[in-house]
Structure 1
Amino acid sequence: MANWSDPRSTGAPYAAGTATEAGAVDAGLRSYMLTVYNFMMSGVLLTGIVAMFFASSGAISMLYNTQTGGASGLGWIVMLSPLAIVFAMSFGMNKMSKGTLQALFWGFAVLMGASLSSIFLVYTSASIASVFFATAAGFAGLSLYGYTTKRDLGPIGTFLIMGLFGLIVAMLLNAFIFQSQEGSMIISALGVLIFAGLTAYDTQKIKSMYFQVSHNGELQSKVEIMGALTLYLDFINMFLFLLRLFGSQRS
């Protein structure tokens, strides 16, 4: 989940005064959400293509030791670069142009693909594919719920964001101190639940942003890209946690 928000996005969505206005709002909202989903799905597809290329071409050996799975110096740079891009996009959105944000988004997707190529060293291709499609189905249902529900998911989202910070702390403690396999499974299960909830929450948040930015074409375009980044992160994190739970490791 990307930590972004537009400082001008305050107040409740406006209500259309006539049937014609309501129809225009609905059409604009559908176009806006479709653009968000197209960016998000294109980013996921690009990441997958890059990951498979690195794994199948042998280029992965530049990033990871194919025997131990340990990262090289270049591998660490590739793994950390997407995080730097997320921070740059989140905190610099209002100062960047639409073109710059788009370039950063595609660059982020490519670097994530190179970074995630390491999963092919650990898990079988068949299990990666099955978990991916299961994640896609779950994501679609959760995002649809977030888009259609009349319930305000804001309070739940706040709780989930707090849980996400706790999850990160737990992951670091387990990785460097406890190193517990059982703890890793519990963390993965919690990660799936947290990002499942965030998928619905973020979808509702992105939808509500439309009513605040639809008057400004440039700003709306930026919000579409940032919304796609947020949903991309929800999808990828849910996929990785599910893979840790259900993926079949290579012998």
Structure 2
Amino acid sequence: MESNAIYTTSDAGLNRFFGKIYGLVGMGVGLSAVISYLMLGPFSHLFVNILMNYSWVYTAAIFVELALVFLASGAARKNTPAALPLFLVYSALNGFTLSFIIVQYTQATVFQAFISTAIVFFTMSLIGISVKRDLSGMAKFLMAALIGIIVASLVNIFLASGTMSFVISIISVLIFSGLIAYDNQMIKKVYYAMNGQVSDGWAVSMALSLYLDFINLFLNILRLFASRD
């Protein structure tokens, strides 16, 4: 992780950089999916035991996840060897916490939501890669909107409004779809700004951002599909 990966500033070099990032995103999503499957399948007895007797484990895992995001992001910016392991540990732990959410839905709904998320994700990725307009202004608006959605979600914990939850999910899908496009455009900007001399840390940092976009998009689409059912 300490050495820089040097690419040529050609389309082939950019494609290799994208390939590395998306390979990491695939590893993260795949690891999360495997852990969730194990918790709800072969290790379902452990899952039920935690759910019934040790619910604090889930809460603790959420706080550890938050810490891991900051640690992985910081390690990636510094291009240290710990960046990739931290990203993978976070992905695995996220698979654990996701199992407590996924268990509330039918397998068909989860599958449909995942496929829909993948379609939206790759569509917005292509838009972000190909669009010529600078999306930085849009990203600032989306981040402000995301803060508003987080506040609204906290308020809705007490209100328990189904309508408000539905609206929050729709807006969240739009927000994370836009962020996917922006993050893909950022990959190109970083690559060309560094003349192809991009470090592995940058690849992990970009992969973490896209992974978070994918997971949050999936969760909100899942809620929308469930409300439809």
The TM-score normalised by the length of structure 2 is: 0.89
The match for 1:75 is 58
Deviations along 1:31-56, one digit per CA (max 9) or x if unpaired, are 00110011001110110010010011
The match for 2:3 is none
Instruction: Give 1:172's match in structure 2, choosing from 132, 154, 157.
Output: 154
The match for 2:201 is 222
Gaps (5+ residues) in structure 1? Answer: 1-22
Larger displacement relative to structure 2 (177-186 or 229-238): 177-186
5 Å-filtered alignment, 1:1-251, equals 24-56=9-41, 57-58=43-44, 59-65=46-52, 72-95=55-78, 97=80, 99-175=81-157, 177-214=158-195, 216=197, 220-247=199-226
Question: Which amino acid is 1:83 matched to?
Answer: L
The match for 1:9 is none
Is 1:62–1:75's contact at 8 Å kept on the other side of the alignment?
Answer: no
Cα distance in 2 for partners of 1:161, 1:204 equals 16
Cα distance in 2 for partners of 1:47, 1:94 equals 23
Question: Which amino acid is 2:159 matched to?
Answer: F
Is 2:14–2:196's contact at 8 Å kept on the other side of the alignment?
Answer: no
Gaps (5+ residues) in structure 2? Answer: 1-7
1:93, distance to aligned residue in structure 2 (A): 3.3
Is 2:79–2:199's contact at 8 Å kept on the other side of the alignment?
Answer: no
1:215, distance to aligned residue in structure 2 (A): 5.4
Cα distance in 2 for partners of 1:72, 1:183 equals 27
Cα distance in 2 for partners of 1:96, 1:142 equals 28
Give 3-state SS (helix, strand or coil) of 2:51's partner. coil
More helix by share: 2
Give 3-state SS (helix, strand or coil) of 1:235's partner. helix
The total of aligned residue pairs comes to 220
Cα distance in 2 for partners of 1:76, 1:181 equals 23
**Alignment root-mean-square deviation, CA:** 2.0
Larger displacement relative to structure 2 (141-150 or 205-214): 205-214
4+ residue segments displaced more than 2 Å: 61-65, 89-96, 212-216, 247-250
- Assess, with a 3 A threshold, how the Cα gap between structure 1 residues 42 and 185 changes in structure 2: closer, same or farther: same
The TM-score normalised by the length of structure 1 is: 0.82
Is 1:214–1:220's contact at 8 Å kept on the other side of the alignment?
Answer: no
Deviations along 1:61-103, one digit per CA (max 9) or x if unpaired, are 24423xxxx9711111122222111112223434451x21010
Is 2:76–2:204's contact at 8 Å kept on the other side of the alignment?
Answer: no
